[in-house]
Structure 1
Amino acid sequence: MPEKMVERNRKSQAPMNLDVRRDERAKPDSSLRLFIYRHFIRKCKAPSIAEMVKGAGWSRKQVDTALRRLCESHAFVLQENGELWRAAPFSAVPTAFPVKVGNRSCYGNCIWDALGIPAMLAQDARIDASCGCCNLEMTLNVNRGRLQGARGIIHIAVPARDWYKDIVFT
């Protein structure tokens, strides 16, 4: 039974195919995605649309179109003004999940994403988070890819199948 539910949800919520070997349309999207992630990794902040236009050598319309397609993958979410809000696991806006990696600080969108940043970068990190319901401060340390001395529970109240119905709430 659970296998059928997982398969049904996978099919109904399937993200866009970003495999550039099979989808010619994805090639420019892939180069923009790479530009965005490299920018986040170097600067711990999102590139602006203007920086994407300049970095990609594209028109604003081309960047907007590629960003809309990247958003179909659910890894990217735009703000109302068209600027990046999220390129998972990074948040382009300050959140309650700051991640200190080396001498840089960036933000995760949630605790799950915050833990994904040191995993993605293969670096040690400190995450100064707080509980969403009671505001209790929590410090998490990741050392050599492992969460150190952590006690507690990560409570994900929204089922994964529903995350993208309202990703900001989730």
Structure 2
Amino acid sequence: MDNEDLRLAVYHAFAAGRIPRIAELAVELTTMQSSVRAGLISLANARHVVLGADGEVVMAHPFSSIPLGFSVMGRTALWWGGCAWDSFALPHLLPDQGPVLVATTCPACGSPHAWNVGTAGPPEGDQVAHFLVPTARMWDNVVRTCRNQRIFCSEECVDAWLTATGEGRGDVLDLATLWRLAEHWYDGRLERGYVRREPAHARNYLSGVGLTGTFWGL
């Protein structure tokens, strides 16, 4: 079994609104479940997927198999959004599904929020996204990182949440910056031969959308 075939099977299942389970992947790829498990470990080591303790796929950015604070509804599918970044990225990766409806609640006060997010431009709104974990540490615990990329009513709600949780302040983005961050980050991920950005290319991309400072490795 070719690992690129496995990677594409994982991503295309998520794109269709299905969670890619090891048993189903083995049937689709006409191989043994043990081969799928080994292939997923290889993909996880290359940071293409995130695995749970049972070896099943938890995340394949921008997709998630577990709820992390966002739901995203397209024309024919519904997904858990892995985080604010990933939720805003889905209509760019899947333009035929958009505009998508991104829904969440403010972690500080519980107020509901929803936006129609498409490819033409950022949605309107005064809400802000708070990213807790800096880029240099994002892969230390990917689920924790994504669970803490959330959208708040305002910076006042960010401050209230930080006080309540005892967490240190990360970086705050307005919705337009969040949209630009998500716009092209996952370009090509559903295509054969996708290559992750090297650090220098990632830094160029981040600075190009207006992000600065050591939080972003710049």
Residue identity matched to 2:30: G
Residue identity matched to 1:109: G
Q: Which of residues 7, 12, 15 is equivalent to 1:41?
A: 15
Q: Distance in 2 between matches of 1:165 and 1:73?
A: 14
Kept in 2, the 8 Å contact 1:119–1:145? The answer is no
- 1:101 equivalenced with 2:74 (yes/no): yes
Q: SS at 1:155's partner residue?
A: strand
Q: Distance in 2 between matches of 1:137 and 1:73?
A: 36
Q: Which of residues 118, 123, 130 is equivalent to 2:105?
A: 130
Q: Distance in 2 between matches of 1:45 and 1:145?
A: 27
Corresponding position of 1:7: none
Larger relative contact order, structure 1 or 2 (CA cutoff 8 Å, min sep 6): 2
Matches within 5 A, 1:143-154: 143-154=118-129
Measure how far apart 1:154 and its partner are.
Answer: 1.2
Q: Structure 2: give runs of 5+ residues left out of the alignment.
A: 146-218
Residue identity matched to 1:77: V
Residue identity matched to 2:7: R
Measure how far apart 1:45 and its partner are.
Answer: 2.4
Q: Deviations over 1:30-68 (max 9, x none)?
A: 1111111111112x1211110010011111121111100
Residue identity matched to 1:127: V
Aligned-pair identity (%): 27
Kept in 2, the 8 Å contact 1:118–1:145? The answer is no
Q: Which of residues 56, 66, 70 is equivalent to 1:83?
A: 56
Residue identity matched to 2:3: D
Kept in 2, the 8 Å contact 1:77–1:85? The answer is yes
- 1:119 equivalenced with 2:92 (yes/no): yes
- 1:69 equivalenced with 2:42 (yes/no): yes
- 1:163 equivalenced with 2:151 (yes/no): no
Q: What is the TM-score normalised by the length of structure 2?
A: 0.61
Q: Structure 1: give runs of 5+ residues left out of the alignment.
A: 1-26
Q: CA RMSD in A?
A: 1.6
Corresponding position of 1:8: none
Q: Distance in 1 between matches of 2:109 and 2:45?
A: 34
Q: SS at 2:143's partner residue?
A: coil
Measure how far apart 1:102 and its partner are.
Answer: 1.0
Corresponding position of 1:5: none
Aligned length: 143
Q: Distance in 2 between matches of 1:85 and 1:152?
A: 28
Residue identity matched to 1:76: V
Residue identity matched to 1:80: A
Residue identity matched to 1:46: I
Residue identity matched to 2:8: L
Q: Distance in 2 between matches of 1:135 and 1:75?
A: 32
